[in-house]
Amino acid sequence: MKLNFNDVSFLKRKGLHRGVLLVMKITTILMLVGCLQVSAHVRAQTINFNRKQATLEEVFHAIRKQSGYEFLYNTLTIKNALKMDLRLDDVPLLRALDRVFAKQPFTYRIIGHTIVVHKKKIEGIAVSSASLRVPQFIVQGKVADPGGHALVGVSVSLKGTSTGTITDGEGNFSLTLPDDQGTLVFTYIGFTSKEVAVDGRDRIDVSLTPSISSLDQLVVIGYGVQKKRDLTGSVASVNAEQIEKIPVATVDQALQGRAPGVQITSDDASPGAAVSIKIRGTGTFGDNSPLYVVDGYPIAGGDLSALNPADIATIDILKDASATAIYGSRASNGVVIITTKRGNTNQLQVSLNASLSMQAKPPKYDLMNAQQFVTLAQYVAKEFDYPILPEWESDPSGLRSIDWQDAFYQTGFQQRYDIALRGGSDKIKTAFSLGYYNRQGNVIFSDFKRYNASLNLDYTPNKWLKASTSLKYSHFDRVVRYGSGVNGLANLVKQIPTMTGNPETDQLEDANGNFGYYTKGAMPTTGMNNIYADVAQQDQDNPSGRLLASGYIEITPLEGLKLKSNFGINLRNHSAYYFTPSNDRTTPAPLAYYSRSSNQSSEWLWENTVSYSRVFGIHSIDFVGGISAQENTYSQVGASGRGLISNELRDIASLQQGLSAYGNQQTWALASQFGRLTYKLKDRYIVTGTVRRDGSSRFGPGQKWGVFPSVSAAWVLKEESFLSHADWINNLKIRGSWGQSGNQNIALFQYLGTYGSGSSQNDNRGYVFGPGNAKVYYQGLVLNVLPDPGLTWETTTQSDVGLDASFLGGKINFTADYYQRVSSGFLLNVPVPAQTGFTTATRNVGSIRNRGLELSLGYNQSEHPFKWDISANVTFLKNKILSFADGLDAIGNFSTLNFRNYGGSVWTVYSQSEVGGVVGAFYGFKTAGIFQDQKEVDALNQKAVELYGPGSYYQVSQTAAGDRKFVDVNNDGRITDDDRVIIGSPIPKFFGGLSFNGSFKQWDFSLYFYGVYGNQILNYMKRNLQNFDKADGVGLQNMSVDYFKNHWTAENHSTKYPRAISYDQNGNNRVSDAFVEDGSYLRMKNLQIGYTLPSAVLSRLSIDRIRIYLSTQNLFTLTGYSGLDPEIGNAQSGDVTSNGVDVGNYPTSHFYTLGLNVTF
């Protein structure tokens, strides 16, 4: 601080005498991260200022600089000035001065361009006498929020007087009272005022509760907001605080277990991987993902991995038709509305978040080592005349064991940094943020990097005009060289644990960079290769960019009437390459392969809405109506081929063989009209009607338009006279709704019969004519799809009844919903009999019903120093297929898990969705243990011969003691496909989350559990762990130590594991209930302990808050499931008929995170 008493030039000019002190101070208002500079503008007629605990001199200085007015005052006079939290956003000078002096014991007068400061004159005798009385009592204390965070700038006054103060940077106040009686009034914007009797205490600590009680919370409902109190639909909300508690990479992961009715499952745990979200059950065989609306922009083909969770303010999940109908044709799977953080008036807040995480190595299966494997191979060779490698025939003790899991697993590492600046004035509010996220997975060569930048700008130049802009850019790059699935990480358990094909090394990679390989051309090692070498040598990159930019202008010509025009663009681009070098580790020796692809999606949206709300006495109405148009063009280009003269090249033009290329574009468009009217009578009877009409280019002439109506009503019982005196009830509301919404998510132009000639040499439709020595290839032309000109929306009709209640001053909150959701004519790329010439066709067929009960209950306690809240939610769900097409009672799984096309006991059909059953029910044989002796087999075979003649068997010709026995369900004396039945369901009976948050003084902690109950898992990995012959072809494969030690032999009559054989002709490991397990689990998803540094330490650094936390995710899981992780999504992403099949997912394990939050 620098005071200049000798500014001669000023004195001369103004002609003022010495002794008048001129204060000058040069301040740089903000210097942030060394790069951001805000300079105050000179001589404005409005003042901007934002500082906590500012001294009067600092304020004067700022005003002088900005307005040109000088201050004249006595330094002794202003010695008693109170520090103040002052925020002025473009405030006119006079109003600014009023605010500056409002709480000071001074006032001012303007003479010319000088502001003269003097002591307040005492007006009125009563006041005068009171304030002139000698102070007799000093009371001190601290004001905090329910979380224990200090509240700064809370006004503390003695009731009925002008005596008062405000709390300082640590929330402390000190007030001098005339005596030790009276009542203190604490007021603070956004919090409920509180009155506390002094009652002789000299220390009064107060906790203020946010005045926006949960009932007054605004919920984003699509083209508008509504108070939670007035909601007639079923909406669940998740706020930033809940999201921030878990250091996850993507927004959707943070939602797991947070909202009833929303089931979130990771398909795999690799960095940046997608998760599947189902709102209120599996409603379709097609795409079950909800519509995402980010800052008012509906994003087609929702992909949240680009969003930075730190930017999210709230997530509102619209569940019932009343809530979703406003999004019409895209809303049948629910709508997730994401709102990002925006700037607030009167404060500039800079927040920095950083966290570092370590992820433990994943859990492993206990697999046979080289010696155990070879021992078993020797047994099989002897027993079945199976040809094994010469080096396996002798003593195996010298063979090197390779632990494939160790080779692929590593300790993961994750870093996350965010910086955000949010603030503004009455007219302009901005929020700016940068984010960086980097995760190196716990499998080698898997990582995800993301860079985010976002800017939200709100401009309100006057009362009737408002403009708002949201810009979000992200760049991300996900590389997972070896991922989930039967062709990926599932191989780790199957890889033979010794590798002797390369004479130079028997290691994965030796010190000289030589890679080992398996013996070529030998039966036992057929199809085995050094996948470590493959993965280590490949080269790929998948960078993507996303820009979501939207803005609106809103005009309020009359009170309550708003006209809004919203325009947005959504650009996505992706550019990738993939390269594998040539190598000679397998035969045929693969050539180098190179592919490059890029695609771009450009989309625009234009929406114009009119909204009107007005209260007429006891009636109030709220209307919004509008029109919308959206258009998307997706274009792609790519090429690939084999053979490069050097492994250093990455060049399409240099490819020597098998070049194939593609490049095309497609456009879709959506045009809509919509409206919603809410009528409220006496704050207790609320009715809402919604309708949307959508036209889509995805459907053919006459089928383009669909109408989606809904109605709902709520009755706020609490407002009725019979409950108005029940003080313990704060809110009691019952709701009911009915409505329809649609799903249009199918590939484009399915209504058209289009023709194509095949895309590449490997997939052409042409043929060869001409004599042997002069053959010529001629183009072909083929009908691509079985067209259905009548193709139209899938319609979901949903009814919902709900109850919202709040008790004991809002301490207990309870919500319940029961719903029925019937999707009919669902758009299904339905497997059609190949007799049509096609294997699938997009059709409107069938009907699925989901019924569910959703409960959530919360309790919070914020009056003691130990403050805590607990909340739990649970969802009970029943899924039932009501019908398919005529003559179709069931459909099998759509994806065959990419098994190779070999015979034997492959899992081609493993799920069956039957009318009356659930979607994706597991389908296979029932087992009756293991045949313990040959006599039993022979007797059954004899019976089959009697029934069906010579050559007949109960199971197969080679069934013997030690093989698995299957149940003859239809009692026809033999095992055929007809003996397959439903053997399990992937759909849980219920699932839910439980979270607990607490704080005590500087400490805070949170705890979060997620669990599912009553579903089964079809464990394909378990089958691999007891299959000695290669499950998908010729050769042998590794398996578990447990099998090795405990399988059936003539001596050891195991009832658990069948005998070891060289070829599973009996189909011991076909799909059966032997691989169906209970999939229930309870997982501690998150445990976090935080410490906030005492503000005394911070105030010197001008920092508001520093919090350090430690957290751990997935610390433990209670489950009976034998696999590595019971959280199993769809085996093939997006395919609900492959749900709950464990095909060796990218593993999860616990994270340990150290994090830092700083606000200043």
Partner 1 sequence: MKLNKTICLAALATMLIFPLSCSKDFLNQKDTTDATEESLFKKLDDVIALVNAIYNTFHDNDFIIKALWYEANFLTQDFHNWGSDTFFGTYEIPTNFGALNTFWIRSYAGIARANSAIPIIESMRNDKILTDELADRLKGEVLFLRGVFYYYLASEFGGVPLELELATDDGRHPRNTQDEVFAAVAEDMTTAASLLPWKEEEDPKDIGRATKGAALAYLGSAQMWLKKYDEAVTTFKQLDGHYQLEDNYLDIHAFNNQNGIEDIFSIQFIGQDDMRSWASNTHWLSTFCLPEEISQTGYAYADKKLYDSFEPGDTRKYATVIGPGDEHPDPAIHISNYTLVKQNWGGMNTCGTLAHPWKGTDGARSGYYGVKTWRDPNVTGNPGNNVMSSQNIILMRFGEVLLSEAEALFRSGNEGAAWDILNNKIRKRAHLKPTTEPDFMAALVDEYRHELAGEFSFYFLLRRAGEAADYVKKYYGIVIPPGHTLMPIPQEQIAVNQKLVQNTGY
CB of residue 564 to partner 1, shortest distance in Å: 9
Choose which of 68, 160, 833, 929 interacts with partner 1 (CB under 8 A).
Answer: 833
Backbone angles phi, psi at 82, to 5 degrees: -85, 140
Q: Which residue lies nearer to partner 1 by CB, 17 or 775?
A: 775
Q: Which residue lies nearer to partner 1 by CB, 815 or 941?
A: 941
665 binds partner 1 (CB under 8 A): yes
DSSP 1006-1055: EEEEEEEES-EEEEHHHHHTT--B-TTSSSB---BHHHHHHS--SSS--S
Q: Please check whether residue 553 is in contact with residue 534, taking contact to mean a CB–CB distance below 8 angstroms.
A: no
* Binding span for partner 1 by CB under 8 A among 117-125, 550-558, 708-716, 1100-1108: 550-558
Query: Which amino acid type is present at position 232?
Result: T
The residues with which 701 forms a beta bridge, in sequence order, are none
Choose which of 80, 646, 757, 970 interacts with partner 1 (CB under 8 A).
Answer: 757
CB of residue 403 to partner 1, shortest distance in Å: 27
DSSP 229-281: GG--S-EEEEEHHHHHTS--SSHHHHHTTTSTTEEEEES--STT--EEEEESS
CB of residue 664 to partner 1, shortest distance in Å: 4
835 binds partner 1 (CB under 8 A): yes
CB of residue 746 to partner 1, shortest distance in Å: 14
468 binds partner 1 (CB under 8 A): no
Q: Which residue lies nearer to partner 1 by CB, 413 or 838?
A: 838
Q: Which residue lies nearer to partner 1 by CB, 476 or 674?
A: 674
CB of residue 639 to partner 1, shortest distance in Å: 15
DSSP 863-932: SSSEEEEEEEEEEEEEEEEEE-STT--EEE-S--TT--S--SS--S--BEEETTS-TT-EEEB-EEEE--
Identify the DSSP state of 1103. -
Q: Which residue lies nearer to partner 1 by CB, 722 or 778?
A: 778
- Per-residue tokens: 569: 């663009």
Q: Which residue lies nearer to partner 1 by CB, 137 or 464?
A: 464
Choose which of 838, 996, 1091, 1160 interacts with partner 1 (CB under 8 A).
Answer: 838
Choose which of 748, 882, 1096, 1097 interacts with partner 1 (CB under 8 A).
Answer: 748
Alpha carbons 798 and 821: distance in angstroms, whole number: 4
Within 350-409, the residues that bind partner 1 by CB under 8 A are: 387-388
* Binding span for partner 1 by CB under 8 A among 27-35, 371-379, 827-835, 861-869: 827-835
Q: Which residue lies nearer to partner 1 by CB, 213 or 673?
A: 673
Q: Which residue lies nearer to partner 1 by CB, 491 or 893?
A: 893
Within 57-116, the residues that bind partner 1 by CB under 8 A are: none
3-state secondary structure of 318: strand
Within 786-825, the residues that bind partner 1 by CB under 8 A are: 786
CB of residue 844 to partner 1, shortest distance in Å: 11
**Cα–Cα distances in Å, from 284 out to 619, 991, 1015, 1130?**
41, 20, 19, 14
Within 300-339, the residues that bind partner 1 by CB under 8 A are: none
Within 581-640, the residues that bind partner 1 by CB under 8 A are: 587-589, 591, 606, 608, 610, 627, 629, 631
Q: Please check whether residue 960 is in contact with residue 1021, taking contact to mean a CB–CB distance below 8 angstroms.
A: no
667 binds partner 1 (CB under 8 A): yes
Lookup result for tokens 């002052």: 86
Choose which of 639, 669, 687, 853 interacts with partner 1 (CB under 8 A).
Answer: 669
Contacts of 554 (CB under 8 A, 6+ apart): 465, 466, 467, 468, 562, 563, 564, 565
Within 881-940, the residues that bind partner 1 by CB under 8 A are: 885-892, 899-906, 908-909, 912
Reference 566, options 579, 549, 581, 583; nearest CA is: 549
Half-sphere exposure of 256 (CA within 13 A, CB side): 27
* Binding span for partner 1 by CB under 8 A among 358-366, 453-461, 710-718, 752-760: 752-760
Q: Which residue lies nearer to partner 1 by CB, 190 or 766?
A: 766
Cα Rg for the chain, rounded, in angstroms? 36
Q: Which residue lies nearer to partner 1 by CB, 885 or 1156?
A: 885
The residues with which 729 forms a beta bridge, in sequence order, are 807
Half-sphere exposure of 636 (CA within 13 A, CB side): 12
- Give, in degrees to the nearest 5, the angle at Cα 1137 between 1131 and 1139: 45
Within 683-712, the residues that bind partner 1 by CB under 8 A are: 695-697, 701, 704
The residues with which 867 forms a beta bridge, in sequence order, are 999
Choose which of 161, 613, 784, 1046 interacts with partner 1 (CB under 8 A).
Answer: 784
CB of residue 786 to partner 1, shortest distance in Å: 7
Choose which of 9, 39, 512, 664 interacts with partner 1 (CB under 8 A).
Answer: 664
Contacts of 844 (CB under 8 A, 6+ apart): 788, 790, 791, 792, 793, 794, 825, 826, 827, 828
CB of residue 513 to partner 1, shortest distance in Å: 24
Q: Which residue lies nearer to partner 1 by CB, 214 or 673?
A: 673
Choose which of 841, 983, 1017, 1128 interacts with partner 1 (CB under 8 A).
Answer: 841
Half-sphere exposure of 512 (CA within 13 A, CB side): 5
* Binding span for partner 1 by CB under 8 A among 800-808, 955-963, 1047-1055, 1143-1151: 955-963
Q: Which residue lies nearer to partner 1 by CB, 1032 or 1142?
A: 1032
Within 1013-1042, the residues that bind partner 1 by CB under 8 A are: 1030, 1033-1034
CB of residue 890 to partner 1, shortest distance in Å: 7
CB of residue 1142 to partner 1, shortest distance in Å: 20
Q: Please check whether residue 854 is in contact with residue 817, taking contact to mean a CB–CB distance below 8 angstroms.
A: yes
Q: Which residue lies nearer to partner 1 by CB, 417 or 464?
A: 464
520 binds partner 1 (CB under 8 A): yes
- Give, in degrees to the nearest 5, the angle at Cα 1116 between 269 and 438: 35
Alpha carbons 3 and 76: distance in angstroms, whole number: 13
Range list of H helices, 294-369: 321-324
Within 131-160, the residues that bind partner 1 by CB under 8 A are: none
Q: Which residue lies nearer to partner 1 by CB, 756 or 865?
A: 756
Within 978-1017, the residues that bind partner 1 by CB under 8 A are: 978
Backbone angles phi, psi at 621, to 5 degrees: -125, 155
The residues with which 823 forms a beta bridge, in sequence order, are 796, 848
Choose which of 482, 517, 708, 749 interacts with partner 1 (CB under 8 A).
Answer: 749
Alpha carbons 566 and 467: distance in angstroms, whole number: 10
